[in-house]
Amino acid sequence: MREKIIIDAANSVLGRVASFAAKQALLGKEVIVVNCKDILITGNPKTTISEFSQARRRGRGSQKGPIIPKVAFKFTKRVIRGMLPHFQTRGKDALKRIICYDNSPEEYQKEKKISLSKELKTKSIKLSELIKII
């Protein structure tokens, strides 16, 4: 059986969680990311909102732009996918080993979780707030 790593993404930076999850999945571990709706995106919130809303508009209709999901766990998995070589076999296999949840399911409540949260000195916006707006 594969080693399981459970990451508590609450109050953690999206890029740090995604890079850590991608690296562990490439090493052959099963990665479970919980509390995706509480993940933080750093930077000026106004700029972040405008960039994502413009990207969503480009992706509609002709589907020639990026596909940006409106659900937090799908958004997180999409970011993780961007940090994997997902066109190669090892990247596809690593992506299959990653599971993301908006909340913390019952079966993972009592298990040991890794938290990647740090004290931030920059502005940030929660993923759930960003998805409501865009």
What digits encode the pLDDT tens for the residues 78-125? 999 999 999 999 999 999 999 999 999 999 999 999 999 988 888 999
Look at residue 69 in the predicted model and tell me its pLDDT: 87
Look at residue 63 in the predicted model and tell me its pLDDT: 64
CA angle 42/43/47 to nearest 5° reads 130
Q: What is the CA radius of gyration of the chain?
A: 15
CB–CB of 52/68 below 8 Å?
yes
In angstroms, the first-to-last Cα distance of the chain is: 40
Tokens of residue 20, six digits: 């850590």
User: Coil, strand, or helix at residue 13?
Assistant: strand
For the segment 52-80, what is each residue's pLDDT rounded down to a tens digit?
Answer: 888 888 766 666 677 788 899 999 999 99
CB–CB of 30/97 below 8 Å?
yes
Structural domains of the chain ordered from first start? 4-133 (3.90.1180.10)
- Torsion from C-alpha of 74, 86, 47, 115, nearest 10 degrees: 60
Look at residue 59 in the predicted model and tell me its pLDDT: 64
Look at residue 55 in the predicted model and tell me its pLDDT: 82
User: Coil, strand, or helix at residue 123?
Assistant: coil
Look at residue 53 in the predicted model and tell me its pLDDT: 87
Look at residue 134 in the predicted model and tell me its pLDDT: 78
The upper half-sphere exposure of residue 71, i.e. CA atoms within 13 Å in the direction of its Cβ, equals 7
